[in-house]
Amino acid sequence: FYETSYCLSQQYPLILQLLLLILLALCIAIIVVSFASGRLLSEHLPFLVTIFCALGVFLVVFVLVCVESVFQCCMVLFSLVVWGCLITMGYVFIFCSGRVAPWDQVYFFLFIVFVGYTMLPISIRNAIIAGVLSSGSHIVTLSIYLSREATSGVDLALQLLANAVIFLCGNLVGAYHKNLMECALQETYHETFNFVKSRVKLESEKRQQEHLLLSILPAYIAMEMKAEIIERLKDGQPKYENTNNFHNLYIKRHKNVSILYADIVGFTRLASECSPKELVVMLNELFGKFDQIAKENECMRIKILGDCYYCVSGLPVSLPNHAKNCVKMGLEMCQSIRQLREATGVDINMRVGVHSGNVLCGVIGLQKWQYDVWSHDVTLANHMEAGGVPGRVHITEATLSHLDGVYEAEKAFYGYRDPYLKENNIRTYLVIDPRAGEDSSADTVTSATAEGPMIRASVRMTQYLESWGAAKPFAHLNHRDSLGVEPPTLDIDSIMNMEIPMASLPHQPRTLDRVRSPKETEDNLNEKIFQIIDQLSSQKQWKKSEDFNRITLYFNEKSTEKEYRLSTLPAFKYYTAGSFFVFLCNFVIQMLVSPRTVEIGVSYAISFFLFLLLLFGCFAGPLMKCILKGPKLLHWVPSISPAIASRPWLRVPLGVVTILILLIMALLNFFFLPPASCPPLAQNASASDALNSQSLYSIPYYMYCCILGLLSCSIFLYMNFELKLILLTVALVIYNVIFLHTHAWLSDCYVNWLYPNLTILEPGVLKEPKLTGSIAFFTFFCVLLVLARQNEYYCRLDFLWKKKFKKEREEIETMENLNRVLLENVLPADVAQLFIGQNLRNEDLYHQSYECVCVLFASIPDFKEFYSESDVNREGLECLRLLNEIIADFDELLSKPKFSGVEKIKTIGSTYMAATGLNAPPGGQEAQQDEDRSISHIGVMVEFALALIGKLDIINKHSFNNFKLRVGINHGPVVAGVIGARKPQYDIWGNTVNVASRMDSTGILGKIQVTEETAKVLQKLGYTCQRRGVIKVKGKGQLCTYFVSTDLARSPPQANALN
């Protein structure tokens, strides 16, 4: 429907208005010529009455067509009225004001046929019907009428056959033009449709990208990093290529903020009882609730570390009540956990520490960005949580000073204090919750039901937490059309002007609550398409445009105009084939009605030769197989066809030559008609006294050949308007000079032959060949100019859409790549595919269990001593610049093929966490018979650890430092998942992760410490492991650990297991 509406309404009503103007001018011209010629009006009264009636009808229709609403509902009716009126005029012209001849009004019916195809708002099917009826009725009517008269049957048959050839040519040229125009319009429609879709998609991609980026980073850092990624993607640079000595640093200092650390006491034991799904659901619901509390209290969640949650108030905009916000949030977190404990009977609690001070915040590294904070104050806040009391909010004296007495606090007991707090003599306080008494009396919910004890604690927790209804991670990505803002209403001015940002366009707000169905989305898109169809009408070419010059239709940008003129035109060969058909029709017509002379034979022989050469050159490409079978001397010929299509300097002259051949050959043999003397004007003169009648009745047919030659210009759809104007104008002037001046005597001679006694019967205006020809030339000249202008407009519009759509497509590809880069910076690549791309409707929480994952923790303990805050290092900023270089160099190792299986999880301060085995089939689905290959990723992790140590040594040489890496590795089962709706975060949990962390914290600088189980696997893979002995590990008791030798290489046989 929309495509049909586009194809019909784009050309109309303007082109119908122009047709009516041409018809009005034609009627007025005929009336003026009739009065100016001095003919007796009484003899031509029916003729004049018809002209005046037609003038009135056309005027009324013109007025109605100018009313758009009337035109839209009466389009077919107007077409029928115009066509019917023209047919009536044609038959009145034939049978009034003179003798009826076989050539009578052939031009007028040719005009009806042609405009039916090109200027009436009807489908091609109806145009064919109208064309066949118009031409067929003319031939049948004249053959019946003239067969009664005593005229030569042979001459009548030849002329009627010539008429049939003319009408055939007119129908085919008209149908060809309409088909080309409809194809161009359909292509423009599809480009428009694709353009609108791409705009909507681009807006969706932009919103996804912004949601995604802002879910990872604050806006002020996100936009800076986004601009850098876009530039890198556009320039096609390697993913992490840095062009200077340092990587970009996205860290800023903020003063007067409060930092909150919170840890769920008892969660580790609970998590060990949970299934993977229960664990992920539990964490997502808990931290989703905390995110909601953080939002309500103007706090920004920084990161989730296992079951530890920390946030900051006063970022990125400074807040005077930052300390009150954090304390209030801490109290609400404790209250939520207390309600959870009382509702489920599960023994868990919340320990919260808060400190106020200054922070450096931002992002370090190249992969898995996570917004983080650093400073001595952050370290202190962490220890405030560690030294706190379960169920209470532990604050420093600095935080207390900012509370302004809003909350009461009591001094913390000495026994709860952390060693760090004790060493630094930090005074701490416990906030008294003002609602503690109310909660104890109000919270009467209990889990002491009959079946309560029979349900596992983890199940009770999960069931209760799901009632909180925390949002799913990446929920805004699950439906592209359910994003917060509806795609803006598109209008043609904004679409045609690519410089206008889409954000500035008018839009209608839409909330997240309403998710549009695919049907509603399609209807919405169609509505936008229809809006553009309404606005992209052909009248726009006469209005001021950002792209076109309204007079010349040239593009305002010279580069675009040059690109348009130099664009390839594969359809040129079809233009030449169409022109050759017109040439054949002219040849047949002249063979039928003109005396056969030597000149006509020679001229057409030369013309045929030239045309065949041109056609061979244009169609040499499709004929390549045949040509290549011939002599090698001709093997270069197929290259002519693409050269003609792609080179304007070759194509344009050939097009002009083709049209000139047609225009010249249409009239050339007119000059070689046999010499003749006109018959006497005496009343008793007879036709036998005249010259060969064939020489005379061929005169109007030469005029019709000239008209067909003019029609050939319409076949060259993509020829520039100014070139067509020049060719048509020159042809019009020359033809009128010939028929009205230099050879007008031939027309007069023919009239004298047809009307021996002019005093008794005087021919009408349209019965004289020279006047008929002149009026026909001017009429077709105007019609062809209007069509040339329309063709030019739509060809340029089509080119512009393609150009803009290409630019849109490039932007979309950039946005899609940006989304991919951003999402893969949050999630592993295979997990990212579940949230973006083809699986948009996956609304379940992502969780996966793995039987064998190797986890690495690599820390730089010396960095804590290295880090200091002074004016010299810009309050610690330069220290973090070095840390950024270290982490970035570590990240660059991940791009090496040998470490493609290593997945960075996150950085925690100066600790680097990574894992292998996450891209293997989950849940132990690996082939057990290939045990070596199933554990080979553990060896890859050791190689990665060795590479990290080597990278740090290189950095030490350049920075004149002596940092040492401490590495802990463990392997075993883990649970992976994505939690947190506001800031989705991929993480792994399990005893394997905890032990790996302890292997790092209890390790020795420069050493890689592993558990006994991991050491056995490494020894199988050819690594040398030295037994350290049994050590005490917090939360795990006594463990026997090993150091991996960093000096000895693996033995070759076992080394093959990693390949």
Q: How far apart are CA 128 and CA 126, in angstroms?
A: 5
Catalytic residue among 573, 998, 1007, 1050: 998
Distance CA 708, CA 960 (A): 88
Tokens coding 924: 């132990």
Compute, in degrees rounded to 10, the torsion defined by CA atoms 1053, 1054, 1057, 1059.
Answer: -60
Alpha helices of 236-374 — where are they, by DSSP H? 267-271, 276-296, 322-344
Q: Is 1034 a catalytic residue?
A: yes
Contact 358, 344 (CB under 8 A): no
Contact partners, residue 114, CB within 8 Å, separation at least 6: 170, 173, 174, 711, 780, 783
Q: What would the DSSP string read from start to end of 92-146? A: HHHHSSS---TTTTHHHHHHHHHHHHHTSS--HHHHHHHHHHHHHHHHHHHHHHH
Nearest CA to 705 out of 572, 570, 607 is that of 607
Element containing residue 396 per DSSP (H, E): strand 393-396
Q: Are the beta carbons of 738 and 700 closer than 8 angstroms?
A: no
φ/ψ (deg, to 5) at 265: -80, 130
CA-to-CA separations, 161 to 140, 296, 773, in angstroms, rounded: 11, 90, 20
Q: HSE, CB side, 13 Å, CA atoms: give it for residue 277.
A: 5
Per-residue H/E/C for 971-994: EEEEEEEEECCCCCEEEEECHHHH
Element (DSSP H or E) covering residue 706: helix 693-715
Whole-number Cα distances in Å, 169 to 102, 131, 708: 18, 11, 8
Q: Do residues 182 and 278 make contact, with C-beta atoms less than 8 angstroms apart?
A: no
- For the question of residue 417 being annotated catalytic, the response is no
Structure tokens at 32: 């003026």
Distance CA 993, CA 853 (A): 9
| 663 neighbors 710 (Cβ within 8 angstroms) | yes
Contact at 8 Å (CB) between 982 and 287?
no
Q: Which of 234, 1016, 1027, 1034 is catalytic?
A: 1034
Cα–Cα dist 1024/1019, whole Å:
6
> Are 145 and 812 in contact, with CB atoms under 8 Å apart?
no
- Outline where 894-1011 has alpha helix (H): 931-934, 936-959, 991-1001
Q: Which residues are annotated as catalytic?
A: 998, 1034
